[in-house]
């Protein structure tokens, strides 16, 4: 919040430079020498019993910069799969903090051995360790390692340094780890989030990349934001061929990553060095391998792909009812209505305000919208109000579920006033949280949860007590002003570590406006180590609770995320502004989260704060209608900005969301593909065109799946857009007669009046669509159509598509459960004959639902007509009298002319079909008439 999250964070961005002056313990890192020490030497290496290599490293020369060196390290290297290599480095003598293995399941490294430097087996003579796709090699003194691609010998990662390099050798201290890699200058890097990147999707040399979960609004550029994702994808073009790989440093401690263009350096304030290398070599392959390791993205219910409306400031239920009614009157699709904390009693979790949201009236409202297929979601913050008469607090205290500071529950302030934070690393807390969600669901049958402020956000800083003799908060003025009595906490090395990460872009103390980093979790775990896992651990607990309610597929939206969060939650990009820049930045953040394995992502449409202009809101819904997660959300202090407020915006919304709702079968199939392979729903163009270097930095357009391209207007006052078209034929989805043929990839200026967004589908595609509707439930029961695209003027070609359908309430999303159907569609044009057919797996579910295909539209033919034949399940259909052929000549916006041959291209529609989706069909016709 102001999602109810953060006016605090919005104002914080402007106040921070002044606030920092008041906070003790901030020192500059600039006086430290660039190179710290002389690294380590490898003193032994041997084969591990369960595969892999185990080595031991010894520090070469001790120093005390950022604390004493850890003298002995254990190195563990293993090819875990044919395309994943792990390199794990830790203290050889003492267990160190790692991301808990129960939160992110993975192989355990070998047990530590206590006999360092004593009788060791003879080291392995070879300095290379080869797997199917990757080769690990090392140098012994000073120790460095490299990872190469086996197929072409390309070096992907190399930690050895030379005197001329701006970085040094491996450093490993208790609170400071440093390691670097050399990079070729033409490598394009993506990832390392969450942050708002003003330069687009490619990492930009010398921009700061700090990873530490922080409630600093998304309006702040190049700053650590709500999530921590220490992974990057590296894309290189070698002789016109693309090779991609990814590198994950699985570490939850705060870190700065310095990208200099020709090198990348990690500076981490704790934990271990646990690297995973994913071989690719395609971008899709990289994300497949990455999500196979961190967790496949959660399946989303069908309705979640509809449009969502939210606002902080729906003061009572009648306002919410009016919003739903106004969407209906304006004929703008709407699936989900949300409440920020307005429904709560005094901002307290799991409560209802009895005056503004009386339960009987709310239940009647939910009965009404549920009957229409609409859904209701509310916000939930982790801070539990300290209030002796509050049942949630009473039960929490009785179960002892809170994070502790000096033996007592840590005291902070968020919206309810004084709060304690549940410790989701504690199994008892997970059980208690599930029980509270169950109790609340009995009170209000919500359809999902929005977990916010879970970085964790705190309006105060330090060790606090509840003031005596005054009301806190006062009930007047902003709720985010700290009213507790607090004193700074800098007396431990956890609160004031020797190395200062660039927290909030200004090196604030790492406990600033969050949980004190010397606070303690279950089993003695320090907040210092587990801080960036808070939202992730809450996501897991919330997912478990929602799935346990009615056995339905959960929908959870989380602000704070970590590696693996996509397995449980969707994400929105936090508190943005209603500006043209924020409109543009939203694309890069969305595309990054696809790489992070969190494909269900979007930004607050029209901006969270302050109010957008009418023109900006037009353009934002034209873009936001194609975010995977599409939600309008605004701030308490902004004027109303629902899509019906301006008639011009309503017009744009009907147009753009109208197309989204027609595309829901395609989007839902992308959701399935994301779940089984990690494939991002929204992707950079280089995912489909990796050999085109022009796509590598392209941040103003994106693909949905492999072949639907969105090219929005991102600038004020523009009625055209300059869009890049990779080679091939592209057809406008809004007017399929419009054809663009790009012989080579190039830019083209497209008309884009106020209510127009350019969306194109690529050749060789079969796109499943439906008629649309005002809700996804309504749209889902309309007949299907198929759009088949061949290269323009094709006398030969083939196209493919797919469709996944299931009972979207089931927690799992897979074939073989009796409640799902999967169809592959194929089409060919050859020897003057067009064929379109399907191959169905598990057809029973689709047949029971009665889904049919009513129309097939084929684009790019060089002729029409001729004899028509239709088969279903291999049996000819004799009566085709109801079937209607029509043909339209397509218009070229940009055309290919070979030797003066101005080839025509035809759009052919076959209407009046009634083909069961759940049965194989085949149809064909001869192209007897030349266009």
Please list the active-site residues. Answer: 452, 455, 575
**Other C-beta atoms within 10 Å of 548: how many?**
15
Distance CA 722, CA 712 (A): 9
Distance CA 53, CA 886 (A): 67
From the list 302, 303, 334, 373, the residue with the least C-alpha distance to 668 is 302
Supply φ then ψ for residue 448, to 5 degrees: 180, 175
Omega of the bond leading into 44 within 30 degrees of 0 (cis): no
Q: Return the CA Rg of the chain.
A: 29
What is each CA distance from 520 to 174, 401, 409, 414, 517, in whole angstroms? 18, 12, 9, 20, 8
From the list 824, 922, 926, 928, the residue with the least C-alpha distance to 870 is 922
From the list 235, 260, 156, the residue with the least C-alpha distance to 694 is 235
CA atoms within 13 A on the CB side of 739: 28
Supply φ then ψ for residue 60, to 5 degrees: -85, -45
Distance CA 387, CA 418 (A): 8
Name the 3-class secondary structure at 387.
coil
List residues bridging with 666 in a β-sheet. Answer: none
**What count of residues does the chain have?**
931
In this structure, are strands 171-172 and 177-182 parallel, antiparallel, or unpaired? antiparallel
The conformational region for residue 874 under phi > 0 = left, psi -120 to 50 = alpha, else beta, is: left
Distance CA 571, CA 917 (A): 33
Sign of CA dihedral 645, 647, 652, 653: positive
- Those residues whose C-beta lies under 8 Å from the C-beta of residue 603, and which sit 6 or more positions away, are 218, 572, 573, 576, 582, 586, 589, 590, 624, 627
Distance CA 25, CA 15 (A): 19
The number of helix segments (H) and strand segments (E) in the chain equals 14, 55
What is each CA distance from 223 to 218, 355, 544, in whole angstroms? 8, 41, 32
**Other C-beta atoms within 10 Å of 456: how many?**
26
């Amino acid at each position: 919040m102001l999602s109810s999250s953060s006016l605090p964070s919005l104002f914080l961005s402007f106040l921070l430079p002044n606030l920092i002056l008041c906070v003790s313990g901030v020192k500059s890192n600039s006086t430290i020498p660039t190179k710290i020490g002389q690294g380590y030497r490898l003193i032994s290496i041997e084969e591990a019993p369960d595969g892999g290599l185990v080595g031991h490293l010894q520090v070469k020369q001790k120093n005390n910069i950022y604390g004493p060196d850890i003298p002995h390290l254990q190195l563990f290297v293993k090819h875990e799969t044919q395309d994943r290599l792990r390199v794990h480095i830790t203290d050889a003598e003492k267990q160190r903090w790692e991301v808990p293995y129960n939160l992110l399941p993975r192989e355990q490294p070998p047990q530590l051995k206590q006999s360092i430097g004593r009788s060791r087996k003879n080291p392995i003579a070879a300095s290379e360790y080869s797997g199917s796709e990757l080769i690990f090699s090392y140098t012994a003194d000073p120790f460095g390692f490299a990872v190469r691609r086996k197929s072409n010998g390309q070096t992907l990662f190399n930690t050895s340094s030379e005197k001329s390099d701006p970085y040094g050798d491996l450093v490993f201290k208790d609170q400071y780890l440093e390691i670097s890699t050399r990079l070729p200058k033409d490598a394009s890097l993506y990832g390392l989030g969450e942050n708002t990147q003003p330069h687009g999707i490619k990492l930009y040399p010398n921009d700061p990349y700090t990873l530490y979960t922080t409630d600093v609004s998304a309006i702040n550029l190049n700053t650590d934001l709500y999530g921590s994702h220490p992974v990057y994808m590296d894309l290189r073009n070698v002789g016109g061929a693309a090779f991609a790989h990814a590198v994950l440093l699985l570490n939850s401690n705060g870190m700065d990553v310095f990208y200099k263009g020709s090198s990348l350096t990690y500076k981490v304030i704790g934990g271990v060095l646990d690297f995973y290398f994913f071989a690719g070599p395609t971008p899709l392959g990289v994300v497949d391998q990455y999500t196979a390791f961190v967790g496949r993205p959660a399946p989303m219910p069908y309705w979640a792909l509809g449009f969502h409306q939210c606002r902080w400031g729906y003061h009572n239920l009648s306002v919410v009812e009016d919003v739903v009614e106004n969407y209906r009157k304006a004929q703008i699709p709407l699936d989900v209505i949300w409440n920020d904390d307005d429904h709560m009693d005094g901002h307290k979790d799991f409560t209802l305000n009895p005056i503004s949201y009386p339960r009987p009236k709310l239940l009647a409202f939910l009965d009404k919208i549920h009957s229409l297929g609409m859904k209701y979601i509310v916000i939930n913050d982790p801070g539990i109000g300290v209030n002796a008469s509050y049942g949630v607090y009473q039960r929490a205290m009785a179960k002892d579920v809170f994070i502790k500071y000096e033996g007592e529950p840590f005291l902070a302030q968020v919206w309810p006033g004084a709060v304690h934070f549940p410790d989701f690393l504690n199994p008892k807390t997970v059980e208690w949280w599930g029980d509270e969600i169950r109790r609340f669901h009995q009170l209000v049958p919500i359809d999902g949860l929005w977990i916010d402020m879970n970085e964790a956000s705190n309006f105060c800083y330090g060790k606090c007590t509840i003031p005596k003799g005054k009301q806190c908060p006062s009930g007047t003025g902003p709720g985010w002003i700290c009213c507790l009595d607090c004193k700074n906490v800098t007396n431990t090395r956890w609160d004031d570590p020797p190395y200062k990460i660039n927290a909030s872009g200004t090196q604030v103390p790492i406990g600033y406006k969050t949980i004190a980093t010397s606070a303690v979790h279950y089993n003695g775990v320090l907040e210092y180590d587990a801080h960036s896992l808070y939202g992730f651990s809450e996501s897991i607990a919330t997912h478990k609770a929602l799935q346990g309610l009615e056995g339905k597929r959960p929908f959870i939206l989380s602000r704070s995320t970590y590696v693996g969060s996509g397995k449980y939650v969707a994400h929105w990009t936090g508190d943005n502004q209603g500006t043209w820049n924020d409109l543009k930045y939203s694309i890069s953040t969305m595309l990054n989260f696809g790489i992070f394995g969190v494909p269900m992502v979007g930004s607050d449409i029209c901006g969270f704060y302050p109010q957008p202009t009418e023109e900006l809101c037009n353009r934002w819904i034209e873009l936001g209608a194609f975010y995977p997660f599409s939600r309008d959300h605004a701030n308490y202090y902004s004027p109303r900005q629902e899509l019906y407020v301006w008639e011009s915006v309503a017009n744009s919304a009907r147009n753009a969301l109208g197309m989204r709702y027609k595309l829901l079968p395609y989007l839902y199939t992308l959701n399935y593909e994301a779940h089984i392979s990690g494939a991002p729903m929204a992707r950079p163009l280089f995912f489909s065109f990796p050999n085109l270097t022009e796509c590598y930095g392209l941040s103003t357009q994106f693909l949905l799946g492999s072949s639907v391209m969105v090219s929005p207007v991102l600038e004020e006052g523009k009625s055209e857009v300059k869009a890049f078209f990779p080679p091939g034929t592209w057809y406008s989805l809004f007017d399929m007669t419009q054809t663009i043929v790009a012989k080579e990839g190039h830019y083209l200026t497209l008309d884009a009046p106020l209510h127009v967004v350019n969306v194109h589908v690529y050749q060789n595609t079969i796109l499943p669509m439906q008629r649309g509707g005002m809700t996804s439930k309504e749209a889902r029961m309309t007949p299907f159509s198929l759009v088949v695209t061949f290269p323009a003027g094709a006398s030969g070609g083939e196209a493919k598509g797919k469709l996944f359908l299931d009972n979207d309430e089931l927690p799992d999303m897979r074939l073989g459960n009796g409640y799902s159907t999967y169809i592959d569609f194929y089409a060919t044009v050859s020897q003057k004959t067009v064929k379109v057919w399907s191959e169905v797996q598990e057809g029973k579910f689709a047949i029971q639902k009665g889904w049919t295909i009513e129309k097939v539209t084929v684009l790019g033919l060089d002729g029409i007509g001729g004899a028509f034949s239709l088969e279903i399940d291999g049996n000819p259909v004799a009566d085709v009298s109801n079937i209607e052929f029509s043909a339209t000549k397509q218009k070229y916006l940009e055309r290919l002319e070979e030797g003066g041959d101005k080839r025509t291209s035809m759009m052919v529609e076959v209407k009046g079909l009634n083909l069961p989706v759940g049965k194989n069909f085949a149809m064909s016709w001869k192209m007897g008439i030349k266009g």
